[in-house]
Amino acid sequence: MVKTKSVKTKSSESKAKASKSASVKSTKAKAKKSTATKVIASKSTKTKSVKAKTTIPQLEDYHWDAFNCCGCKGCVWVDHVYCSGVKYGMRCPSLHEYEMDTYSAIGRSKLALGLLDGTFDFNETTLDIIYKCCLCGACDIGCKRNLDLDPGMVLETLRIRAVEKGKGPLPAHKKLTDKIAKSGNRYGSSAASRGNWLPKNIKTSKKPDMVYFVGCNSSYKDKNIAIATAGILDAAKVKWDLFPEEACCGHPYYVAGMADAALKQAKRNIATLKKSGAKTIVTSCAECYKTWKVDYPKLMDKPTEEMGYKVIHITELAAEKIAAGKLKPTHPVNLKIAYHDPCNLARLSDDWVPWHGTRGKWGVTEPPKQYRRGSDVPYQPARDILNAIPGLELTEFIRMKENTMCCGAGGGVAEAYPEMARNTADHRLEEAQDIGAEAIASACPYCNDNLSYVAADRDRPIGIYDVTELLNASLTGRGI
């Protein structure tokens, strides 16, 4: 009996120990889970943005923005105040094309969280989601109307992280950027022939007030834009010269996520500018404009105003000269034209202002964060130019200015997903026809290229012009 009782006692003690051990493990597990929950919660209540060793933006810097997306779809739809109906109520090209939230800032924010916590990894599907985006900024501006998140930077840093992990860029982007690395331009053309477009009758200055950064497209492909820009500068009696030893601005590097290569290109171009002695750059390309004004400062973690140079678009300069009476368009251009706001000239071009601070309760920032809302950008200059041209009737798209629908070519989409780029352009052309426009004017060679191609390919009888072409035609009477 005693022996039996002794055995039972030992057995009871063993079970008690096992139970106690399990209880301790359970308590530790709960504590661990609680701690993990608190860590996640802390990211939504009080977080600190720590300046990393690299100046290149990192995905971790925008965890707050991804975590606090509530799926309200302010990023997707034109605000009801400006929305005229369902047909032209959406402003996100990729959601319009693929009709799944996965292909919007909402889905990509969730993907970012998964990559940060290890739930997801880069594969063919995640890369497809990340790169089927024009990086047009529509979601970013829409979100800032209500929530003050930075979904645009989540999208950009997703690509940067993909390249850092050796999963990006996409083959189509690699093919293009290899040409830049080898020849200094996106077409793989001779660097020596970059300035061959310049008419012999145009005289540049040996002591310029500004240098004209032409860009790859207008140097090699749409040379008419460069010629028109030179004519405008000449007519305005501006002291200018071509940017010396011009090479690609590096925009294709950045949108592919190749931030290191983009930074290297930025340093190269800035050093070349300093050698020239000029302090002002004028561009006729929206991509070049935004790259110099926003992306170079972003890559160097510096405010735009501290970069030591000023960048202006030709539409800004021309509108100013017209207002001052120094440019006088007199020859009529008899067309009813809708102006298409290029994303990179318009809502994406607010000055870059770095922020490294803390977030407290409700995400209150200390020091206060200056948000880029697409408000202090040149929407008006191109419109002022078009309104100054005799005979030209300016009409507006239903989606305009900050609510503009992208042409579809941006963010490397034209190279990697041409069908999406074409479908988006066709949707924009349909909108132009629905408002009775005879032609579209823009201020970006890539918008013009994509819209022109689709207008011809899909039998939409509508003209596509650059603002510089229309203005130069009115100044010279040579027609368009």
Joined tokens for residue 96: 């319009």
Give the pLDDT score at 293: 98
Helix (H, G, I), strand (E, B) or coil at 283: strand
Helix (H) or strand (E) holding 180: helix 171-183
Joined tokens for residue 179: 């040409």
Residue written as tokens 């939409």? 460
The band of 83, judged by pLDDT with boundaries at 50, 70 and 90, is: confident
Give the pLDDT score at 54: 85
When the pLDDT of each residue in the chain is averaged and rounded to a whole number, the result is 90
The band of 35, judged by pLDDT with boundaries at 50, 70 and 90, is: very low
Helix (H, G, I), strand (E, B) or coil at 212: strand
Characterise 33 by phi-psi region: left (phi > 0), alpha (psi -120 to 50), beta (else): alpha
The band of 250, judged by pLDDT with boundaries at 50, 70 and 90, is: very high
Joined tokens for residue 223: 């040379």
In Å, how far are 21, 22, 472 from 29, measured between CA atoms? Answer: 12, 10, 73
HSE, side-chain direction, 13 A CA sphere, residue 408: 24
In Å, how far are 44, 49, 263, 383 from 351, measured between CA atoms? Answer: 27, 20, 18, 21
User: Which residues touch 256 (CB under 8 Å, ≥6 apart)?
Assistant: 159, 163, 168, 169, 170, 173, 174, 176, 177, 412
The one-letter code for the residue type at 60 is E
354 upstream amide cis, omega within 30 of 0: no
Would the pLDDT of 236 be above 90? yes
Domains and CATH numbers, the chain: 47-168 (1.10.1060), 183-326 (3.40.50.11810), 328-341+379-480 (3.40.50.11810)
For strands 439-442 and 463-466, give the pairing: parallel
Would the pLDDT of 22 be above 70? no
Torsion angle defined by CA atoms of residues 281, 282, 288 and 290, in that order, rounded to the nearest 10 degrees: 80
What is the per-residue pLDDT across 155-197, written as a single tens digit (0 to 9) for each?
999 999 999 999 999 999 999 999 999 999 999 999 999 999 9
Answer for the pair 407, 341: CB distance below 8 angstroms, yes or no. no
The band of 38, judged by pLDDT with boundaries at 50, 70 and 90, is: very low
Nearest partner of 431 among 480, 470, 395, 381, judged by Cα? 395
